[in-house]
Every structure is written in C-alpha cells, then in structure tokens.
Amino acid sequence: MFKQVFVVLLIVFSISVRAQERAAAYAVDEEFNIWNKKLNDTACVFADIAYIRDYPSLTGVLLDSLSAGTKVIIKSEAYNNTLIKDFYAPWHKVEYMIGTQKRAGFIWLGLLALGSNIDKEGKLWMYGFNKYLNRSNDEAHLSLCEVKVLDASLHIINRTSILITKGEQTYTEGKVLDNMGLAGLQAIYRIGFFSESCGVPTDHHYIGWTGTEFLDLPGKSNISDAGIFYHEEKLLFPSEHKLGSSLIIKDINEGEVIDPDQKELTYKERKERVKYSWDGKIASQIIEMK
C-alpha cells in the first residue's frame, strides 16, 4: 500500500515539476504570417510525420503523430514563436480525427502546408517550407520550398524542391493547371508568393508534372516601387500564344521614372521577349543574335 502511494506521489510531483519548468504560453503579437491561418480554417499536415503535443512547445508531451495530407482544423490563436528547422513559426491548437475519434492538441505551424490543391483525379498537391538556407539577411532568406503530390489514399507519389527568396510576401497560393500545350506533361503546378508592399516582389514558380516526375519550368516575377520603377514579367505557354508547341515565351516590361519631381510621371521603358525551347524534359533559353 505504501509503495503504491509513493508511486502516485512521485508521478504527481513529476507532473508538477514539469509544469513549473514550462514557460507560460504567450500569444504571438503579429498581424499575419505567410500561412495566414485563422480560427476554424482547415489545413493539411505537410511534414511526412507531424507530432501533436499537449502544450505549444517542444517540451510538450507527445499525444499523436499525423502523416502528410491529414486534415486539421485550427482551434486557437498563434502561440509561442519557436525556431525549428532554421525558421520561426508559432503553434496552434488543432482538432483532427484518429479513426472515428476526434482529438485535439498543439502543432507547430511549420509542419502544415502553405497551400494545398486537389486535382480532378483526386490527387493532393501540397507545398511548404523545408528550411531556410541562410539567416544572415533579415530582409530576405533563401528557402527550400518542397512540393509533394499524394494519391487519393494520401501516399506520397513524388516530391521536389524549389529555391525561393522569402522576403515580406504576405500570402501564397497554389493552382493545378493543365499541361498548357507542353508535350510530355500531364499538368503544371503554379505556386505564387504575393506581396502587397512596394519594393517586394511577387514571384510565381511553375513545375511540370509528367505523371511520375517533376520537371522545372521558367517562372516569373513582378516588382514595383511607386514613383520610381516597375518590372513586370508575363509567361506565355503554347496554348496561350499559339506560336508552336515547343515554345515558351516570357515578355518583360520595365520602366524607370525620368523625373520623380514632376507632377505627371513619365517613364523610360524597356521591353524584352525571352524565348525558351521545350523538348519534353528541359526548357532551354533560346539565344538570338541581335
């Protein structure tokens, strides 16, 4: 009897010590992060395996593990910005299903997809951060953004990574396109990182999908600073330009203000057309003599 009481007291003491070691959870004081998840939003687990904890910290007790593609529902504000995998993200309390049982716990936001899409065949497309490659520049970080495609049973078919420059973009969006007239592709996945601020680029990345593998395609970028300059890129695929099934076109339009003190601004403009030849695997820039 004494032994049983001692064990119970020891467990209670251990729990009490652990609770005292934990810092109080604090709400993250920020207007947004690039995930932009709000209360009752649905998100997908992006990590191959994501751990759910009883507290918004790595010191929290493990409750469950969820596999990629599992849906969770955001049920709290953001807590405890935490540095994991070389970048900061907060924690959210989430609800999820284990079999027929509804459960809840905390997940680090970096384990959730930035965006996800389901195509007409039922495949799940997702993208999310892998890690920052450098943290020396506070304004922009080179980052690995991983892309995964899963079948209807949430088994990972394939994955690839793209290098992005993450600055002050405020939101992101993915879209599954058809092959846009490019031979050898079943689909194209377009991922955009958008900015609403002057001097911060909006970037679009395009990835071809053959049905079994990912192939790199040219991307596009737009940036402007009111009253100073602008840089606009437009990407045209064969189904859009009708100039040949092996041709990808990027039209570039740039302008720089001549005199910022004038009431009506005029710009010195430059236009350029860049062409790429598509051979079913690689898009190679065509060098034209001028």
Say yes or no to pLDDT of 135 above 60. no
Buried-state track 66-84, b at ≥16 Cβ within 10 A, e below 16: bebbbebbbbbebbbbbee
pLDDT in tens, 213-222: 999 999 999 9
Q: Does 16 have pLDDT greater than 60?
A: no
Segment 216-244 shows an average pLDDT of 93
The CATH classification number of 27-112 equals 2.30.30.40
Residue whose pair of structure tokens reads 């949430």 in the numeric block = 154
pLDDT band at 29 (very low <50, low <70, confident <90, very high): low
Task: Provide the residue ranges of all domains of the chain, joining segments of one domain with +.
Answer: 27-112, 115-290
Return mean pLDDT, the chain: 87
Give the global pTM.
0.85
pLDDT classification of 133: cutoffs 50, 70, 90? low
Mean pLDDT, range 109-137, rounded to an integer: 85
Give residues with Cβ within 8 angstroms of 18, minimum separation 6: 59
Contact 269, 254 (CB under 8 A): yes
Dist. CA 179–CA 188, nearest whole Å: 6
Predicted pLDDT at 140: 53
Q: Is 87 exposed, middle or buried (0-12, 13-18, 19+ CB in 10 A)?
A: middle
How many Cβ atoms sit within 10 Å of the Cβ of residue 186?
14
Give the tens place of pLDDT for each residue, 164-220.
877 678 899 999 999 999 999 999 999 999 987 778 889 999 999 999 999 999 999
pLDDT bucket at 144, cuts 50 / 70 / 90: confident
Q: How confident is the model at residue 108 (pLDDT cuts 50, 70, 90)?
A: very high
